[in-house]
C-alpha cells in the first residue's frame, strides 16, 4: 500500500486526536499506584474516551490467530509483558513497571501513544530501562527531517539501546497513522536486511507512530495463551514509549505531545 501523505488540515485533525490521547494517558498515568488494578486504569481510559466522543482503536482489534478481537480500549502491560497486555483484576505492586498504550480515533483521524510508568520505587536497572527507552524515542524524533532515510534513524535508535546494554524487540514496529490506526509504512526501531528493503525516505506530510520496545535481557518474545499478551522469553522487564508525529519541513511535529508529562 502506498504511504498516504496528509494535508495541513488533516494533520490538525490528527493533533486533536493526539491531544485527547495525551490527556487520557496522563490521567491513567496519574492513577498508577500500588494496589490499583489494570482494569481500573483501562476504565479511566474507557470513560474519558466516551466523554470526549473518541473511539478506542484497540477494542475489537482483530486477532492474528482466529478468535475474539482485543477486549479493551487500552493495552496495559506489566513488567515482562511487552505489549498488548489485557486489563485485568491484577493489582500493581511496588517495583513493577506498567506500560499504558492508547490508540484512538476522533472525528475520523487517529493518534497512538504509549508510556511506561514505575510503581513506587523501582530498581536502578529498571529505572535505567525507562530512561533509555524514553531517550531512544526522543533520539528518533529529533532525527526526523524530510529527505532522510528511516533506516538511518532506526540505526541510531538501535545503537542507543544496545550501547546501554539493552535490546530492541524485533517482532513489533511503528507504523503510519491516519484515518486508520495502522497504515504503511512500517517504522522499525532496528535495522536488518528486511528493514533496508522496506526503507523509505521521509517527506513532509507523512504521519507515523515511533514506538521503541526495549528489554533488559534477550529480545525474544512470545504470546501468552490469552492470544494477546506479548511477554519476554526470559521474563525480564520491557519498556515502551510511543508518539505519533507528522513530518514537516522543520522536522517532527509531535501530535501526541499536548500535555505529555512523560516528556518530549
Q: DSSP for 125-172?
A: HHHHHHHHHHHHHHHHHHH--TT-BHHHHHHHHHHHHHHTT-EE-SS-
Residues in contact with Co ion, counted by CB under 5 A, come to a total of 7
The distance from CA 212 to its chain's CA centroid, rounded to whole angstroms, is 7
Among 10, 73, 112, 183, binds Co ion (CB under 5 A): 112
Q: Are 28 and 75 in contact (CB under 8 A)?
A: no
Say whether residue 211 binds ligand MF3 (CB under 6 A).
yes
Those residues with Cβ within 8 angstroms of residue 71's Cβ, 6 or more apart along the chain or in another chain: 59, 86
x-or-dash string of contact with ligand MF3, 168-207, rule CB under 6 A: ----------------------------------------
Touching ligand MF3, residues 138-157 (CB under 6 A)? none
> What angle do helix axes 8-30 and 38-51 make, rounded to 10 degrees?
140
Grid coordinates in use for 190?
A: 532496528
Beta bridge partners of residue 245, listed in sequence order: 208, 254
Q: Which does 75 bind (CB under 5 to 8 A by kind): ligand MF3, Co ion, none?
A: ligand MF3
The distance from CA 182 to its chain's CA centroid, rounded to whole angstroms, is 12
Closest to 210 measured CA to CA, from 252, 180, 160, 258 = 252
Say whether residue 135 binds ligand MF3 (CB under 6 A).
no
Q: Name the residue nearer to Co ion (CB basis): 34 or 246.
A: 246
DSSP 249: T
Residue in the block written with cell 486533536:
16
Q: Name the residue nearer to Co ion (CB basis): 73 or 242.
A: 242
Say whether residue 55 binds ligand MF3 (CB under 6 A).
no
Among 19, 38, 58, 151, binds ligand MF3 (CB under 6 A): 58
Q: Which does 96 bind (CB under 5 to 8 A by kind): ligand MF3, Co ion, none?
A: none
Q: To the nearest whole angstrom, how small is the minimum distance from the Cβ of residue 93 to ligand MF3?
A: 24
Q: To the nearest whole angstrom, how small is the minimum distance from the Cβ of residue 70 to ligand MF3?
A: 3
| Residues in touch with ligand MF3 (CB under 6 A) | 58, 61, 70, 75, 84, 101, 103, 112, 209, 211, 242
Amino acid at each position: 500500500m502506498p504511504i498516504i501523505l496528509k494535508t495541513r488540515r488533516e494533520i490538525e485533525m490528527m493533533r486533536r486526536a493526539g491531544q485527547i490521547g495525551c490527556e487520557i494517558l496522563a490521567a491513567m498515568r496519574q492513577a498508577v499506584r500500588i494496589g490499583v488494578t489494570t482494569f481500573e486504569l483501562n476504565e479511566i481510559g474507557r470513560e474519558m474516551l466516551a466523554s470526549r466522543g473518541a473511539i478506542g482503536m484497540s477494542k475489537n482489534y482483530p486477532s492474528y490467530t482466529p478468535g475474539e478481537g482485543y477486549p479493551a480500549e487500552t493495552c496495559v502491560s506489566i513488567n515482562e509483558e511487552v505489549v498488548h497486555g489485557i486489563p485485568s483484576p491484577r493489582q500493581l505492586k511496588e517495583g513493577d513497571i506498567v506500560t499504558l498504550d492508547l490508540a484512538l480515533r476522533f472525528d475520523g483521524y487517529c493518534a497512538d501513544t504509549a508510556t511506561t510508568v514505575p510503581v513506587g520505587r523501582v530498581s536502578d536497572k529498571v529505572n535505567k530501562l525507562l530512561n533509555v527507552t524514553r531517550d531512544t524515542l526522543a533520539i528518533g524524533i529529533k532525527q526526523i527531517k524530510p529527505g532522510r532515510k528511516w533506516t538511518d534513524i532506526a540505526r541510531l535508535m538501535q545503537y542507543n539501546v544496545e550501547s546501554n546494554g539493552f535490546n530492541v524487540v524485533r517482532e513489533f514496529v511503528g507504523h503510519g497513522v491516519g484515518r486508520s490506526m495502522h497504515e504503511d509504512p512500517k517504522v522499525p526501531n532496528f535495522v536488518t536486511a528486511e528493514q533496508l528493503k522496506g526503507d523509505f525516505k521521509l517527506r513532509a506530510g507523512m504521519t507515523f507512530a515511533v514506538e521503541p520496545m526495549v528489554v533488559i535481557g534477550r529480545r525474544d518474545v512470545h504470546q501468552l495463551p490469552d492470544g494477546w499478551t506479548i511477554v519476554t522469553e526470559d521474563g525480564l522487564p520491557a519498556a515502551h514509549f510511543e508518539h505519533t508525529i507528522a513530518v514537516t519541513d522543520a522536522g517532527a511535529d509531535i501530535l501526541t505531545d499536548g500535555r505529555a508529562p512523560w516528556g518530549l
